[in-house]
Structure 1
Amino acid sequence: MPEPLTPGELLALDRQHVWHPYGPMPGKAAPLLVGSASGVRLRLAEPVEGQDELVDGMSSWWSAVHGYNHPVLNDAAHGQLERMSHVMFGGLTHEPAVRLAKRLVDISPEPLQHVFLADSGSVSVEVAVKMCLQYWRSLGKPRKQRLLTWRGGYHGDTWQPMSVCDPDGGMHELWQGALPRQIFADAPPAGFDAAPDEAYAAHLRELIGRHAEELAAVIVEPVVQGAGGMSFHSPAYLRVLREACDEHGVLLVFDEIATGFGRTGALFAAEHAGVAPDVMCLGKALTGGYLTLAATLCTTAVADGISRGALPVLAHGPTFMGNPLAAAVADASISLLLSQDWGQEVKRIETGLRNGLAPAADLPGVREVRVLGAIGVVQLDHEVDMAAATRAAVREGVWLRPFRDLIYTMPPYITGDDDVARISAAVCAAAREG
């Protein structure tokens, strides 16, 4: 074993060598050094702002829905490690991947019957796009190669996903001109419970109809737009998209990477609309935050279409596709979720966030407070001072990760009422100081 390093030595090496997401190199602010985690708490290697542990209000970017160091998931990982941690998926298969694929088919919308296991959420979107493009090429319609989405979205950091993120003011605006040129509808009107705007529905239908000859697919985040702005919209627009795509011969893709596995109060956000996509992307909470894994599901029609082409295979194959360790933990995580009344737990958190965040609406600089399922958002009328907001939350004993004009939380489903109240207080504190 190497000699242990002090927290100071680790942070110095981190600054010298480690490039953090959406950060400069070297970093301007030292990250917090986590020594261990269990339940909903991150234990710091040395105290910060008088705190030596923080309640995690982010579920580690929305993935750790069961919290940390969960015995069920630990047992699944240990048991699989004793059998094999990895084996290539080309020409081989194994029980964890087969069980997981069957599980995903069983719990997802009925038309989705086939599962491609990928490495990460962004890669699952790449696979979804490739499925759609290859489907139309196999059917002799190679002109259908563009994508339509609405503004305010975020689908990942690799190439095709970046092309369907909002091109104006989005996280990947830098790459406009180099990325494939896609078609953007206006952002959906805000409000999960708002009555559908018929003019906006007509806008969607007209745009899909006008570009149908060149459209391979429409891709959207159903009900909740995540990192693009944490906004909620009426499920009715998903029904509009389904009807318009069917009418004009366009595939429909739902990116459920952030919304899947109960986050919005439904197991999958598509259930709020009662519609099924042709292709669906899953990730984040799939393994309960233990390992990187994602999945792209599709209908039999899509799979058969690809199989009838000149190249009758899906031309994609990640090295760690179907990783047994990740698949075993994912299957255990889904079993754990479904073995309990997860819907009631999400509803309990929703009630706690509504009550706890209500005072933020009266704070100076706050534009809106919104809550849906286990998601709470405070939107400011200005760019958040990220450093000040983070410090304020840490002083309250909570870890948050504000961005742009947003201070938000997506806590693990096991978060107790007292900790939900603590997270809410931290969000309000961050809004005051950020």
Structure 2
Amino acid sequence: MPNTPNWYDEGMGHIWLPYTQMKTAVPPLPVASTNGVRLTLSDGRELIDGIASWWAAAHGYNHPHILDAMKQQLEAMPHAMFGGLVNEPALKLAKRLAAMMPGDLNRVFIAESGSVSVEVAMKMALQYYFNRGEKRTKFVHFRGTYHGDTLGTMAVCDPEEGMHGLFGDVLAKNLLADLPRTQEAADQFAAFLKKHASDVAAVITEPLVQGAGGMVFHQPETLRWLREACDDAGVLLIVDEIFTGFYRTGSRFAVDQAGIVPDMLTLSKALSGGVSPLSVCIARESVFDAFYDDDPSKALMHGPTYMGHALGCAAANASLDLFEREDYAAKVHAIEGQMMAELAPCGFAPNVKSVRVKGAIGVVQLEDASAIETLKPKFVERGVWIRPFRDIVYLTPPLTIGEDDLGTLTGAIRDVLGA
């Protein structure tokens, strides 16, 4: 790549990039700065970000309210260990999140990455039964699902269509099922779960959208059926809202559309506004009670070094301020309507299988994905950052994006796919 900065030339020989075959990959683009919904490259080109940094930059980049809160916290205390010590931003965040949750989801475990929060939820589920004298060691997960890249979360991702098939022989063996989308399928799933209940600690699912599995949508009824099946079988339910949380599907949380209370719920990404690594696992009081005991061996023995990270929690509190002060449901409703109208013509383009939109998620699915990597530079040429994967071209823009910028993104998709 010509005219790259020194830091790029000197560092690329030492970095290991994510999800990348380093030998054959097209070199990544060097980003110099961000602002609003734009990425500025080192050569001065600006790209409208249609992906919101893997769905995290819900408020856009460099939001002054979040940056000001972090500056104040940085001067006071960036971090202090959460073992034997606590800090105001973390406890404030826990209280605020508990108030947002349905039912008695009110015990908040604060970690760093989304994968870790799911690992924590899985560990809670296992020990919940251990502490009750039951040895349940399996999880039920679904085809098309993704929950993370750590060893535990890999074992509850789709083993056939997902990216972790290479590790199948060394991962924990769990129970794979089809996500129920009809009443008949729900009845079959309930029978399946009851049959295996004595071995199952929890069912784990992504609500309304299977993200990395190809942005596949399902209805709120599916979540209600899962909740009913878990209640009937006496099994815990984990809902992974790392992608869907904070209005991405239209409501503040996807579970709000189903009216259910999971036993554990995980959040990350938009939680901190895409500014700081941060995640939470929020558990129901009934789950917490299984650990609350005079016996020290019943405590949850988990504690990331940066648990309760004060600086990240300050960013998250500022992010929550924005979600509470502004009508994000209305913002997403407008984004949804515009994407529905402007992506619909893609359905007539060659090689397009389907077009679908839910909340601030727009998807164009291709019939043949063999040349999908060739689309990325064509989007850059049009001044947008859109990163197709699998067989889809998709948009998950910042929720603050304006009509004109969103129109540029949808127009680029129509142009590239139409050509």
TM score, norm. by length of structure 2: 0.97
User: Counterparts of 1:206-285 in structure 2 under 5 Å?
Assistant: 206-285=191-270
C-alpha deviation, 1:95, in angstroms: 0.4
Matched residues, number? 416
Number of the residue aligned with 1:125: 118
C-alpha deviation, 1:188, in angstroms: 4.4
User: Counterparts of 1:86-97 in structure 2 under 5 Å?
Assistant: 86-97=79-90
C-alpha deviation, 1:94, in angstroms: 0.8
CA distance in 2, matches of 1:151, 1:334: 33
User: Which of residues 104, 117, 133 is equivalent to 1:111?
Assistant: 104
CA distance in 2, matches of 1:30, 1:429: 24
CA distance in 1, matches of 2:277, 2:103: 26
Contact 1:393 1:429 in 2 (8 A): no
Number of the residue aligned with 2:40: 43
Number of the residue aligned with 1:290: 275
CA distance in 2, matches of 1:175, 1:211: 24
Moved more, 78-87 or 202-211: 202-211
Number of the residue aligned with 1:3: none
Number of the residue aligned with 2:145: 153
CA distance in 2, matches of 1:171, 1:401: 17
CA distance in 1, matches of 2:274, 2:342: 26
User: Which of residues 90, 95, 99 is equivalent to 1:102?
Assistant: 95
Over the aligned positions, Cα root-mean-square deviation in angstroms equals 1.4
User: Secondary structure of the equivalent of 1:46?
Assistant: coil
CA distance in 2, matches of 1:27, 1:423: 28
CA distance in 2, matches of 1:429, 1:326: 39
CA distance in 2, matches of 1:269, 1:278: 15
State the identity as a percent: 46
Contact 1:15 1:26 in 2 (8 A): no
* 2:289 is the counterpart of 1:319: no
C-alpha deviation, 1:203, in angstroms: 2.2
User: Counterparts of 1:330-349 in structure 2 under 5 Å?
Assistant: 330-349=316-335
Contact 1:219 1:252 in 2 (8 A): yes
* 2:132 is the counterpart of 1:139: yes
For residues 167 and 229 of structure 1, do their structure 2 counterparts lie closer, same or farther at Cα, with a shift above 3 Å needed?
same
Number of the residue aligned with 2:398: 412
User: Counterparts of 1:11-26 in structure 2 under 5 Å?
Assistant: 11-26=8-23
Structure 2 portions without partners, runs of 5+ = none
Deviations 1:325-370, CA, capped at 9 Å, x for gaps: 0000101101111100110000000011111101111111111100
AA in 2 matched with 1:137: F
Contact 1:15 1:27 in 2 (8 A): no
C-alpha deviation, 1:10, in angstroms: 3.2
Contact 1:384 1:403 in 2 (8 A): no
C-alpha deviation, 1:384, in angstroms: 5.0
C-alpha deviation, 1:427, in angstroms: 2.2
Deviations 1:51-108, CA, capped at 9 Å, x for gaps: x101000010000000011110110110000101110000000100000000100111
* 2:348 is the counterpart of 1:357: no
Number of the residue aligned with 1:204: 189
User: Secondary structure of the equivalent of 2:259?
Assistant: coil
TM score, norm. by length of structure 1: 0.93
CA distance in 1, matches of 2:416, 2:310: 41
AA in 2 matched with 1:82: E
